[in-house]
Every structure is written in structure tokens, then in C-alpha cells.
Amino acid sequence: MLKMDEVYYTYPNGPCVLKGLNLHVPSGKKCALIGHNGCGKTTLFLHANGLLRPDSGDIYWNGEKMDYRRPTLQKWRREVGIVFQNPEHQLVAPLVRDELAFGLHHLGMKKHEMDELMEKALDEFGLRSWLDKPVHHLSLGQKKWLTLAAVMVMNPKLLVLD
């Protein structure tokens, strides 16, 4: 499903974090990546859907070598959802309803498609009573739940939990 081949990445004016990384995540499997703080897990995850671009090496999604053109990135990001460790780094909208719609809107979905997916997520995650709540009024646990729902509303094929 996801393959990284000899991936290198160095932060601007910073350390080289990924040094020839090879990774294969097979379809239908659950994988865990364990390591100390600062070892590069989040950096790897940000490469999983094109949020970061490797300095060298290749990333393949479903056997297809990824490029970084807008249409490819949109499809890739819909299929590989990432939930950040800190919800404050992910939440962008003022209201819960806007947060759920944000990713769908940026994928260029039609309103009726967005409405269908949001209805399903509202039921699956029990968020109906939250719809008009300001995101900044939610507890940390509620924000984490919302970030998971906001990613899952897009029906990703791969879910990455940082």
C-alpha cells in the first residue's frame, strides 16, 4: 500500500532526520512504529501523504510513484489520513461543523457528497450535539476525537495516528 524507498530528508537549517529510510506498509495490516521522542516518526508520517517532500528517494502509493503535482497530492491526501499528536496543530476551523467540512471542501467535493459524508461521520462519532460548538470550547479529549472524525470523514484507505 505505502512504500518508501531510500528516503532522505533534512529540515531547512536543521538535522538530517530520515537517512535512507525503507518502509513497506502492506494493505490490510496494522503497523506500529515505536521510537524515542525526536527520532523522526512524525517526519516520516508527514511524508506518508506528501505534507513533506523527500530530498531524495521515492514514495509509492498503491504501487504508483508519487509526484507532487496538485491533483496527485489531493488524491493522495484523501487516501492517506493523518491525525496529529497535538490536535491544536491540526484544527483550523472555528466551529465543529466547519472542521468536519474543511478537508472535504479542499478536496473539491460537491456539496451533496460532502453532506452525505458528514451525516455518516456525525452518527459514527456522535457529534450531532457538537455541530455548532466553537472548537476552542472543546476539551483536549474532545479535540482529539474531532481531529479523528475530521480525517475519517474523508474515508482514507490508510489512517496514520501520530
18-27 residue pLDDT tens: 999 999 999 9
Residue 7 amino acid letter = V
Same domain, 55 and 92: no
- Does residue 75 register a pLDDT over 90? no
Percent of the chain with pLDDT over 90: 75
Q: How many domains does the chain have?
A: 2
- Grid cell 509509492 is found at 60
Same domain, 151 and 93: yes
Residue 122 lies inside a defined structural domain of this protein: yes
Q: Which three cell numbers stand for residue 95?
A: 466551529
* Segments forming the whole domain that contains residue 126: 87-161
Burial class from Cβ neighbours inside 10 Å (0-12, 13-18, 19+) for residue 13 reads exposed
Average pLDDT, the chain: 92
Label residue 37 by pLDDT band (50, 70, 90): confident
Same domain, 24 and 64: yes
- pTM (two decimals): 0.86
Same domain, 92 and 39: no
Cross-strand pairs, 64: 61
Same domain, 44 and 13: yes
Same domain, 98 and 53: no
Residue 60 lies inside a defined structural domain of this protein: yes
Same domain, 60 and 101: no
Residue 156 near residue 61, CB atoms below 8 Å: no
